[in-house]
Amino acid sequence: MPQIHLRAEAADYAPLVLIPGDPQRATAIAGKFDGGLAAVRPVNSHRALLGYTGKYKGVPVSVQASGMGAPSMAIVVEELLRLGARRLIRVGTCGGIGRGIETGEIVIAAGATPVDGATASYLHGDPYAPTADPGLTRALVEAAEKADLKPHVGQVATVDVFYNPDPDYAPKWRSRGVLAFEMESSVLFYLAARARAAGEDVSAATILTVSDVLSEKTTSEQSYMPLDQLDARIEKMIEVALEAGVAGMAG
């Protein structure tokens, strides 16, 4: 039956789903499917959570916008899993904090520190380390390298606050080996792990374009990439995610 937010039926989604936050990015991703937008099928528009289904290189694939933040991601992923999604790839942006990370580069999350409230709500305060699926993550790394990109692979932190004024915000997490801040991956990884623990064949991974960098000397506003340059970098990332997703389904 249709879900509360994703008003589609189970057959409307492919097992492979790319999940951007931005609904406009969802449309852009659908435009890269076989035959372009004219050949894809819109499957959801409720609350501007745009979703489409088509094929990429002959492999069924969907894209579903999640909105911003872990609570919205949690709703979308819960419903996607009920509708039959099994390979979930978050494609988004992040604020780089790792030493040497520059805007426009790629970060692939091996795990996501759960600093957000949504993951904490699921865990009831228990310690937990949400991690990405190693096979799907490896597919992302290999696809990025094949595209002549050199991804940073490691820990990200999922946070609730974009404009955080705390002076030790970036230094503290950098000193713990965190590469970037983002806002959705921890709950995605947790829900995928919960599904696996229940016996379902579910995996999740995250690939991110660094839109800005945070340091003791630089803020997000000062370092945010010009939008045309950011869009060009995101386009390359989307192609990497599609290639990795297709490879993951074949594997």
How many C-alpha atoms does 57 have within 13 Å on its Cβ side?
9
The two three-digit tokens of residue 218, written as one number: 């630089």
| Residue written as token pair 């002549």 | 148
The two three-digit tokens of residue 65, written as one number: 């916008």
Q: Of 126, 148, 212, 228, which is the active-site residue?
A: 212
The reply to whether 126 belongs to the active site is no
Write out the DSSP string of 43-104: EE-GGG--EEEEEETTEEEEEE---SSHHHHHHHHHHHHHTT--EEEEEEEEEE-STT--TT
pTM above 0.75, yes or no: yes
pLDDT in the model for residue 251: 57
pLDDT in the model for residue 10: 86
Question: pLDDT by residue for the chain (251 residues), tens digit each?
Answer: 678 899 998 899 999 999 999 999 999 999 999 999 999 999 999 999 999 999 999 999 999 999 999 999 999 999 999 999 999 999 999 999 999 999 999 999 999 999 999 999 999 989 999 999 999 999 999 999 999 999 999 999 999 999 988 888 999 999 999 999 999 999 999 999 999 999 999 999 999 999 999 888 888 888 899 999 999 999 999 999 999 999 877 65
Domains in the chain with CATH codes: 10-250 (3.40.50.1580)
pLDDT in the model for residue 58: 95
Residues sharing a CB contact under 8 Å with residue 168, sequence separation 6 or more, in sequence order: none
- Residue among 154, 39, 136, 40 nearest 90 (CA): 136
Q: Phi-psi category of 186—alpha, beta or left, where left has phi over 0 and alpha has psi -120 to 50? A: alpha
Residue 159, CA distances (Å) to 120, 144, 167 in order: 11, 25, 16
pLDDT in the model for residue 2: 79
